[in-house]
Structure 1
Amino acid sequence: MVAKIPKPDEDSIAVLTLVLGERVKFKKFYGRITPDLTARYQQYDDQKGCPSGMPPLVLRNYVDTDGEAVKRRTSLLGLYNPDEDKYPFKELEKLRKKNKLLACPVCGELGRPRTLDHCLPKTTYPEFAANLFNLVPACDWCQGEKLVDYKNAAGTRSFLHPYYDDVNQPLYSIKLQAPYLTPVISFEISNDLTLDLKSLVASHLEGIGFWERFKEYFESSYLNIIRMASETRAGGKVTVTTAIENGYSLEIGKGINSWDAVVYRSLLADPAVMDFLQNGKLSEYP
């Protein structure tokens, strides 16, 4: 998770009303479920996406047979894949293709996310398949890794929610161990977070398979930093510290917990590493 992002411009309940108003087929089912479905959308927003006390609706309560309940589950899931002339096609396309994000809000990897993650999985909560507040732009990896991992043993959510959680602050950092030319890195969640938020950050990052991905990314990112440090020292116009500070200033615009922002911030906080980059022997980059 890199930053809290604005909820969709469209009100989720208003869009739900438009969606259901277009569904002429299975009108009896939608007529029965609409009051409870609307109440659940409101509850979702009130509880900030937390599943506690919000079990999936029992579809059998809104139909006459078990077989029809199975079919209407498929109908609810289908709301997520509407025809182009139906609601909420344009709203979903806006979230996917016009989100204006520069990094995935679920993990922080750079690049505009092009898929949508159901925070409460639609396989478990088909009633939220097209709930705009339950849909967050995400990179392909996060969308695939998270899958149905959404709550902990206490029944509360085990993931950070980009629309609701206050995470516009450094969430984690890395520590480098010498030799600094080819360091081994470890990972630390910020001690400035509340205990509840620290726990949530830990379960979130574990659930999206974050650490192995970040370590692989760091290897190539750090090679570029070594190269940049060598070129900066050769140029002699600014210090390596200034160069990295300038890089950090650019990267936090993509998200305070975007991956390069985390790398730069972690380096700047470590005097031994910064001394190496400014004065050490960068043997591979003379």
Structure 2
Amino acid sequence: MRSLPKPIAAFYDVFDLCMEGVGRAVLKKNYEDIRGDLYKDASDYDVLAAQGDLWKIVPNNQLKDDVVVGNVTKKQLRGLYSNYMVAEGKPGRAIYDGLMASAPLEMCPYCGVGRVSTLDHYLPKAKFPRLSIVVENLIPACKDCNMGTKGTAVAVNAESQPIHPYYEGVDFNSAQWLFCDVLQTSPATIIYYANPPVSWSPVDRKRVGAHLKSFDLSARFSFQAAEELSHVRQTFIQYYRNSPSNERRDYLVQLETAEYALRPNSWKRAMYQALSNSQWYCDGGYQ
């Protein structure tokens, strides 16, 4: 996964931009009446996210037409996002576009392989409608991460939370936790798993596993690795067929070193590392 800097847009500025797009006077007044309530929700979110405690926010299980706060229904709270931030031509769309553009190289921060195509509500708006336009809760993501296993799932404890790119990306990339094994098949198979440092807290150790599960990353990374393995195989056949195994290993170590400098927990770094450590693969298992 990859870290992202926290958005700098203030809640009131985002809220006011969305209000500029509301045409119905009564609805606009109802929204403005709960402005302070939603600001407090945004402030509480920021504090809890910094502590790794977003799981403590209680999900809302009301029906879509039930009133949640003031005179505003659950459907209308969710509409703040879909109708006044996402909708083309609305002033709030500038916030949406800015968040979408914040991911370097348009790469999804959750997985690091997909192209950003949407905004994901870290705490899903279906269960947390009061947070629908809180920018810290909006993560630029690929379709697979936004619509996949995570979906509208809600963490029930600290260890079941996926990693938050805005608040925790840097800390969770301070050491390697993503590894893989090389299976002696033909062609070779790469299997990914989490193995964080023993010095990490028990909660953090479980969270990296939860992150892999939330976005089905073990299977998705193995799929990516299969394609990369074909390129490594072709390189070895063309340039290293008659070389000793240690030269093939040195080549893989160089690839791993370069990838580590960019992303310590990328699927590529883990794959090159595992391949270089596999005597079977370097001796000829690549064929």
TM beyond 0.5:
yes
| Ranges in structure 2 where 5+ consecutive residues have no aligned partner | none
Indicate which of 172, 181, 197 corresponds to 1:175: 181
**Corresponding residue number in structure 2 for 1:164:** 167
- The answer to whether the Cα contact below 8 Å between 1:175 and 1:266 also exists between their aligned partners in 2 is yes
Indicate which of 202, 218, 223 corresponds to 1:195: 202
**Corresponding residue number in structure 2 for 1:62:** 70
Give how far 1:184 is off.
4.5
- The answer to whether the Cα contact below 8 Å between 1:44 and 1:50 also exists between their aligned partners in 2 is yes
1:32 aligns with 2:33: yes
- The answer to whether the Cα contact below 8 Å between 1:103 and 1:258 also exists between their aligned partners in 2 is no
Deviations 1:154-183 (A, max 9, x none): 37762111111122132220112335x533
Compute the TM-score of the two structures, normalised by the length of structure 2: 0.79
SS of 2:223's equivalent in the other structure is helix
Indicate which of 255, 269, 275 corresponds to 1:267: 275
- The answer to whether the Cα contact below 8 Å between 1:8 and 1:133 also exists between their aligned partners in 2 is yes
Give how far 1:261 is off.
2.1
1:119 aligns with 2:125: no
Distance 2:147 2:202 in 1: 28
Deviations 1:216-270 (A, max 9, x none): 222222222222233342596x9323322332344346533222222113333x2
Indicate which of 221, 226, 235 corresponds to 2:228: 221
SS of 1:136's equivalent in the other structure is strand
Q: 1:199 to 1:206 in 2, by over 3 A?
A: same
- The answer to whether the Cα contact below 8 Å between 1:177 and 1:183 also exists between their aligned partners in 2 is yes
**Corresponding residue number in structure 2 for 1:132:** 135
| Ranges in structure 1 where 5+ consecutive residues have no aligned partner | none
Q: 1:59 to 1:44 in 2, by over 3 A?
A: farther
Deviations 1:26-60 (A, max 9, x none): 23312321111000101111111713045449844
Indicate which of 79, 86, 102 corresponds to 1:75: 79
Give how far 1:22 is off.
5.6
Distance 2:18 2:100 in 1: 19
Higher relative contact order (Cα pairs below 8 Å, separated by 6+ residues) = 1
Q: 1:209 to 1:82 in 2, by over 3 A?
A: same
Give how far 1:149 is off.
1.4
Q: 1:178 to 1:75 in 2, by over 3 A?
A: closer
1:19 aligns with 2:18: yes
Deviations 1:125-175 (A, max 9, x none): 2222222111112111111112101312x3776211111112213222011
Letter in 2 for 1:122: K
Q: 1:96 to 1:189 in 2, by over 3 A?
A: same
Compute the TM-score of the two structures, normalised by the length of structure 1: 0.80
Q: 1:191 to 1:31 in 2, by over 3 A?
A: closer
- The answer to whether the Cα contact below 8 Å between 2:78 and 2:125 also exists between their aligned partners in 1 is no
SS of 2:140's equivalent in the other structure is strand
With 246-255 and 118-127 compared, the bigger mean Cα shift is at 246-255
Q: 1:94 to 1:119 in 2, by over 3 A?
A: same
SS of 2:108's equivalent in the other structure is coil
Q: CA RMSD in A?
A: 3.1
SS of 1:280's equivalent in the other structure is helix
Distance 1:218 1:126 in 2: 38
Q: 1:281 to 1:30 in 2, by over 3 A?
A: closer
Distance 2:195 2:22 in 1: 48
Q: 1:159 to 1:246 in 2, by over 3 A?
A: same
Distance 1:233 1:129 in 2: 54
**Identical-residue share of aligned pairs (%):** 22
Residues 243-282 of structure 1 correspond to what in structure 2 (within 5 A)? 243-252=251-260, 255-268=263-276, 270=277, 273=278, 275-280=279-284
